[in-house]
């Protein structure tokens, strides 16, 4: 009888250990990102709003205290050259966002997730205006990304982030507004650590 009790306790302990290890303790993501924002010019020169497309890369790390909850730190750098009144403006954004993530890990192969990230963005703009010379400026603003994505596991420690899509809000003081609505779409590879 003692052997059966000890065997039952051992089996239960193994099962609990296996349950405790069925999610990664941390996930490190890196990949390509496309960001689009709209700036309101207030009708300056009759041009209306300016849509800005930026390409770059982003990376994040998620610390997962349990199977569902993650705490995310996300960083990205994006560059583009929008045309403003016939002048190409070199634009670089560096974002730093933090917040919670909820993962739905019911399927071992595919993990949908949702997150709400808050932080800031640093912008550098530069241009060479004929007859006026070159200029550059920098600005910092609040930023927020709300959205989610899908990770597809390809190995115990590697997944592909099939898509990550977010509503992206920045609060730069443009000419007529201090709110830019946009989107960010990312894809890349996820390293799953400690699972």
Q: How far apart are CA 102 and CA 115, in angstroms?
A: 6
Q: Residue 106 has what pLDDT? A: 85
* CB crowding 141-154: b at 16 or more within 10 Å, else e: bebbbebbbbbebe
DSSP string covering 135-159, please?
A: EEEEEEEEEEEEEEEEEEEEETTEE
Residue bearing tokens 């400690």: 194
**CATH number 3.30.450.20 is the correct assignment for the domain at 24-193:** no
Could you tell me the pTM of the whole model?
0.80
Q: How far apart are CA 100 and CA 60, in angstroms?
A: 12
Q: Residue 14 has what pLDDT? A: 44
71 and 58 in contact (C-beta within 8 Å)?
no
Cross-strand partners of 59: 30, 75
Q: What pLDDT tens digit does each residue of the chain (195 aa) get?
A: 566 555 455 554 444 444 445 789 999 999 999 999 887 665 555 556 778 899 999 999 999 999 999 999 999 999 998 777 677 888 899 999 999 999 999 888 999 999 999 999 999 988 887 777 788 889 999 999 999 999 999 998 999 999 999 999 999 876 556 788 899 999 999 999 986
186 and 113 in contact (C-beta within 8 Å)?
no
161 and 190 in contact (C-beta within 8 Å)?
yes
Q: Residue 41 has what pLDDT? A: 60
Q: Can you give the residue ranges of every domain in the chain?
A: 24-193
């Amino acid at each position: 009888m003692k052997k059966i009790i000890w065997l039952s306790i051992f089996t239960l302990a193994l099962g609990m250990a296996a349950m405790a290890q069925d999610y990664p303790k941390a996930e490190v993501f890196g990949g390509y990102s496309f960001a689009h924002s709209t700036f309101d010019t207030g009708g300056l020169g009759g041009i209306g709003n300016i849509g800005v497309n930026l390409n770059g890369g982003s990376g994040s790390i998620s610390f997962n205290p349990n199977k569902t909850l993650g705490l995310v730190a996300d960083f990205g750098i994006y560059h583009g050259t929008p045309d403003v009144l016939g002048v190409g403006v070199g634009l670089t954004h560096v974002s730093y966002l933090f917040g919670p993530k909820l993962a739905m890990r019911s399927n071992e192969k595919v993990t949908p997730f949702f997150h709400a990230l808050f932080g800031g963005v640093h912008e550098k703009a530069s241009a060479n205006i004929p007859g006026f010379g070159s200029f550059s400026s920098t600005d910092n603003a609040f930023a927020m990304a709300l959205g989610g994505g899908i990770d597809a596991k390809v190995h115990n420690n590697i997944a592909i982030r099939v898509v990550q899509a977010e509503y992206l809000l920045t609060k730069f003081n443009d000419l007529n507004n201090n709110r830019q609505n946009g989107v960010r779409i990312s894809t890349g590879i996820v390293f799953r650590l400690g699972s």
